[in-house]
A and B are shown apart, each in its own frame.
Chain A
């Protein structure tokens, strides 16, 4: 069966359901207000998305307590969340559920699926899927000590999956963030809608989830990077749509600015870029669903294309909005922060190109 790059009817239904909830509950002006509050994440919205629409454990097999769909469906959800820069612990959940699925660990998944217990993975957000993970956390019996940086969704996480090294190598452990010996320090993020922080463990009680963390982490990072590409596509599509809308209604020199060829051609190029990004993103999602041997190449390609394209889309959007785009009150900066941070997340486009060079045998000089 060759790669299906389209959307199925089921996927379109899922998209419509997610979009409805986000339209009602995640107006971008409310996202802006929330980002400045003490509770930058909307956990009530998250519980709705997880509990009612099942997005949290969507791609987890049913026998492990998940939704039994695939990464293709998960990617459609990501597109919608990207369009809305929704402040929900989605990426940490994707990492955690993909890791638990790869480890075959059913028990922690049920609560993730319900949206009641947020779980994340203590691997730095900028880590590349192909990187060798050398955690700065040591395991001693059943307790962990050490530090993990750039842990996504850490502030709202009830549990963290932590890779830790001991005499038997690197394993993956589940830590409850409420136990003693766990301290969390948030970092002020460039992306106000996606938070991360530093996790410090000093003799914190932990439970082994996977004895060999390496393949589990690899799969989790690969899946999350593929899903992130879909989020980037959704974000880019939103930037394009909102900019097209703006240039049709904004008049200068007695004309709609969208009637100037200089503006039209930039948006035509951006539309072409978004179309191309969508094809690479669908390809990645499909490869991940099939556990395709080509998944690693497909994800590297999607990241190498979509992460830069999403940044370009918001930067073009900002420029074409003129002065209003530079203001705090206009939400473009939320999208810019999200796109620029996502470009660095799981490695930059250059990192992914370097991985492609290895995978398709195009060696450096």
Chain B
């Protein structure tokens, strides 16, 4: 059993042999090979079968030494979703091929799940995968794909059997995003920016060796992926008045002109809810730290979405004439999303997505009602019907 002290000395040994100021990629590759990338992964695949929570020990040691990191925010889908799926469902060859360049950030990943006709109802997706000898030919359209314009690889769910009921006719693949038959178009949003993409799969040929899991098991694999999608939104370890509430609280303090009795009451209500939500997130992290994760993440996500939307709208009202303007409608391609950055108009518009992305508030409420409270599931009329017969 690996413990923190053992890991610390392993990191120090590693640092003695590898110059953190040298070539960044060489350093990261060596770190992976030394089993210090994600310590809970198997030996040979960047880890040493250690408890996951010990990763923080390793990261802290490297950070203290000023070592380069693998820029995790640039490959969130890869690290958070693709890697655990490959680890769990991939073959030995697939694990060996994909995991190292994924972890080092040499290969960025994206996720081809959602479609224009299949968002919350993911299992309704229509992108077809037709078997052709040792390959599959994939035809269809995906949407809301972050990183698609930077990605080398995608995790892809496609329909391999339209005659089966919708959950049973899916298969799961690794798709090469540099294939000429993959077309990536920026998807401009209401903010004017294009954080995401539309992806058109125009008869893309994918070797069967890039299938993850069994044919027809795509839904189970996709659920495995989504289980790994942490409810990161609003869940960070943050201090009081971080996030949107801090933005308006500072405005209130700095500018007595904006203060009215009605706005004071609203501000205080929002302040209380924001602080209460922050504490709920803190309590969730404490549960995680002692190994008894609670379902509070859903509550935090619901509350964060509602608050971010309400507070960003309230901010515009506080600003009066200034609230009528907008920062910049240019179609930019941001590297990361900052809910409190940019200008007030952007914040207001971007916040509208919070109750849709990462599971809509409606779906989250169903999840809470069914999985936490044990209430009966929604009545389903689509479960045993062949997918091709479902109304779309």
Contact = CB atoms under 8 A, between A and B. Distances in A.
Contact of A271 (B263, B272, B277, B372): B372
A272 B279 contact: no
> Interface majority SS on B: helix, strand, loop or mixed?
helix
Interface stretch (A42-50, A146-154, A260-268): A260-268
B283 A279 contact: yes
Contacts of B357: none
Interface string A302-313: 001100000000
Given A258-B375, A271-B373, A279 B253 contact: no
Contacts of A283: 279
Interface string A291-311: 000000000010011000000
A63 interface: no
A361 B376 contact: no
Most buried by B among A248, A258, A272, A305: A272
Nearest to B302: A272
Interface in A310-365: 349-350, 353-354, 356-357, 360-365
A144 B364 CA distance: 60
7 A-B pairs with the lowest CB-CB distances in the bound complex, closest first: A264-B369, A272-B299, A259-B376, A268-B365, A268-B368, A5-B283, A353-B268
A301 B362 contact: no
A304 B299 CA distance: 19
B296 interface: yes
B258 to A, nearest CB: 9
A15 interface: no
Nearest to B272: A304
A279 B271 contact: no
A364 B296 contact: no
Interface of A: 3-6, 244, 247-248, 255-256, 258-259, 261, 263-265, 267-269, 271-272, 275-280, 282-283, 301, 304-305, 349-350, 353-354, 356-357, 360-365
A298 to B, nearest CB: 9
Nearest to A364: B264
Nearest to B376: A259
A149 B253 CA distance: 39
- For A248, A267, A271, the residue with the greatest tally of chain B CB atoms inside 10 Å of its CB is A271
B15 to A, nearest CB: 30
B379 interface: yes
A271 B286 CA distance: 19
A365 B260 contact: yes
B18 to A, nearest CB: 35
A349 B303 CA distance: 19
Contacts of B269: 353
Given A247-B375, A259-B377, A275-B294, 19 more contacts: A256-B375, A261-B366, A264-B365, A267-B373, A268-B366, A269-B302, A271-B299, A271-B368, A276-B299, A276-B303, A279-B280, A279-B282, A305-B273, A350-B265, A353-B271, A356-B272, A361-B253, A362-B268, A362-B271
A216 B298 CA distance: 41
24 contacts: A5-B282, A5-B283, A6-B283, A255-B379, A256-B376, A258-B375, A258-B376, A259-B375, A264-B369, A264-B373, A268-B365, A268-B373, A271-B368, A272-B302, A275-B294, A275-B299, A276-B277, A279-B282, A280-B276, A305-B273, A354-B268, A356-B271, A362-B264, A364-B264
Interface in B298-312: 298-299, 302-303
A263 B375 CA distance: 10
A5 B55 CA distance: 24
A362 B240 CA distance: 14
B267 interface: yes
A364 B259 contact: yes
A265 B369 CA distance: 7
